[in-house]
Amino acid sequence: MQTDFLVIGAGVAGLSAAIEAAPAGRVLVLTKDRLRESATEYSQGGVAVALSDEDEVGLHEQDTLVAGAGLCDPEAVRRLVQAGPGRIQRLIEWGAEFDSDGGRLTFSLEGAHSVNRVLHADGDSTGREIARTLLRKAQSIPAISFRSYSSVVELLRRNGEACGAVAWDGSRRELVSVHARAVLLATGGIGRIYRETTNPNVATGDGIAMAYRAGAVISNIEMVQFHPTALFLEGAPRFLLSEAVRGEGALLRNADMQRFMSRYHPSEELAPRDVVSRAIVTELGRLRRGPVYLDLTQFPDGFVPRRFPRVYRTCLAYGVDLEAVPVPVHPAAHYAMGGVATTLEGETTLPGLYAAGEVACNGVHGANRLASNSLLEGLVFGASAGEAMRRHAGATLKKPPLPRQKAAAALPGNAIAMLRRLVWRHAGITRSGPGLRAGLERLDLLSPMFEKGLARSSRHGFECDNMYQVTRLIARCALAREESRGGHYRLDHPEPRPEFRKRSQIRRGGEVRFAEVGSPLP
């Protein structure tokens, strides 16, 4: 297979990039599952954008910088907030239907925002509406084609440049080469490496692992955001209970049904996500029993089903009527602030390779993402990457041969469960030097099961290898960062340290190093 531009992933970032790259050539979008299966599809919280009369771009910029705990690249943040309104207006022109009242867009308040600036669609289905709009637009462009159930497992390189990828064709059960003039990673997050996560099954860190193996720099990968309020019922998925629920006034209560957030932050339930997550874990430890509850029973009758229809229906399906009783919640891995290091145009340190969305680290989120900035980031920086890819339109199409390896033995049935328990325990919400070192020692013992490369013969096998690779990267970078900042909290170093107000960087064969925020990529 060959194309001009290869886009790996069909979430908000991948589709935005495909649309912008299409004027310069053919675009092939690959997904490893069904076309609509991405984190974008499940995003409830909304999209933050300074469009209301009461808001200003400067306020959005300030809130983002504060949430980022000193690690945001100011130029990246400025581009996000300045370009954001135009990108949302374009979505509306393409048919996106955001919630409104009397023809005026309605905006809600979420944690760490200073004003109401979060747009929603159908209450809590914002990501689904944005994905629908982008997909319809992309499918209307003849230059863009799609191929589902094709897991990209390795990047192709020639003379130090990315020139395509190797994909596992699930229906034919064989490896296929895809040659391209430029490649974009839009593979999403890493949440499935954790025992508790809100992420879909496809979020196994594939793009980060592939980029690392190909020699690209990975940055701030230790910065993992845990969403404080995931549904916590036996037999139920860790369904996200949107940040907007607390923004509307939902209360957190401990096992004694007492509010507790005032002990941990003056903003109480609207504190930054990392603060709320640690507060819940601390409260569980303080009382030595749980669970913690999210209480919506104080709202007027009919408000919750109307404002949060998807959340209400899901909880009701598992036996919880949010209008009648509080719902048990627990923090779960939700978003990766770090990833493949990129410029503001999506360029990585590997020529010909671009990255956008959650897989990328351009500095916009710093150490802790501001609520509802992720969809906007995918729109803004996905489009920037697509525009930048156009410059490869006239490049020679390189066609390296497909590497061949013998098949590897199948993974033991409990290998992934062991891995996920390990990373949750040693590199989860709270961390420590001894715990991280113990985790790395355990990972060394597990290494014979993983890292089999193209010898695998199933999507599951490739995903497992990628999860193992990303787990090691998180543990190594978390051990090197001897401080607490944003989504990274060290029990043995509980305060931020000025010497670590830098971004971590690691590449294959090298040690963890720290670089000034905003400095050029190595």
Last residue of one domain, picked from the residues 280, 311, 331: 331
Pair 284, 170 in one domain: no
CATH number, position 377? 3.50.50.60
Pair 307, 194 in one domain: no
Pair 190, 244 in one domain: no
What local confidence, expressed as pLDDT, does residue 459 receive? 87
Q: Is residue 463 pLDDT above 60, yes or no? A: yes
Pair 219, 288 in one domain: no
Last residue of one domain, picked from the residues 284, 307, 331: 331
Instruction: Give the residue among 245, 232, 308 at the shortest CA–CA distance from 110.
Output: 245
pLDDT digits (tens, 9 = 90+) for 368-382: 999 899 999 999 999
Last residue of one domain, picked from the residues 290, 306, 331: 331
CATH number, position 254? 3.90.700.10
Please tell me the least confidently modeled range out of 122-126, 138-142, 224-228, 496-500: 122-126
Q: Is residue 516 pLDDT above 80, yes or no? A: yes
Number of C-alpha atoms within 13 angstroms, CB side, residue 324? 5
Provide the domain count of the chain: 3
Share above pLDDT 70 across residues of the chain, in percent, rounded to a whole number: 97
Tokens of 257: 């049904």
- Please provide the DSSP assignment of 127-183 as one string: HHHHHHHHHHHHHT-TTEEEE-SEEEEEEEEETTEEEEEEEEETTTTEEEEEE-SEE
In whole angstroms, what separates CA 408 from the centre of its chain?
Answer: 30
The alpha carbon dihedral of 190, 378, 245, 495 has a sign of positive
Q: What 3-state class would DSSP assign to 253?
A: strand
Pair 215, 74 in one domain: yes
In whole angstroms, what separates CA 443 from the centre of its chain?
Answer: 24
Pair 326, 451 in one domain: no
Q: Is residue 36 pLDDT above 70, yes or no? A: no
Pair 28, 123 in one domain: yes
Residues 6+ apart with CB under 8 A from 479: 433, 436, 437, 440, 512
pLDDT digits (tens, 9 = 90+) for 324-358: 999 999 999 999 999 999 999 999 999 999 999 99
Pair 70, 164 in one domain: yes
Pair 138, 184 in one domain: yes
Which residues belong to the active site?
273
Give the chain's mean pLDDT: 93
Tokens of 514: 């720290």
What local confidence, expressed as pLDDT, does residue 341 receive? 98
Sheet holding 27-30, edge to edge: 144-147, 27-30, 5-8, 182-185, 353-355
Per residue, the 3-state secondary structure of 358-396, as one string, reads HHEECCCCCCCCCCCCHHHHHHHHHHHHHHHHHHHCCCC
Per residue, the 3-state secondary structure of 50-82, as one string, reads CCCCCCCHHHHHHHHHHHCCCCCCHHHHHHHHH
Pair 167, 83 in one domain: yes
Sorting pLDDT into bands at 50, 70 and 90, what band is 43?
A: low
Q: Is 121:99 a contact under the CB 8 Å cutoff?
A: yes
pTM of the model: 0.93
Pair 436, 355 in one domain: no
Pair 514, 388 in one domain: yes
What local confidence, expressed as pLDDT, does residue 149 receive? 82
Domain interval for residue 506:
1-223+337-404+502-522
pLDDT digits (tens, 9 = 90+) for 441-458: 999 999 988 888 787 878
CATH number, position 459? 1.20.58.100
Sorting pLDDT into bands at 50, 70 and 90, what band is 39?
A: low
What local confidence, expressed as pLDDT, does residue 415 receive? 86
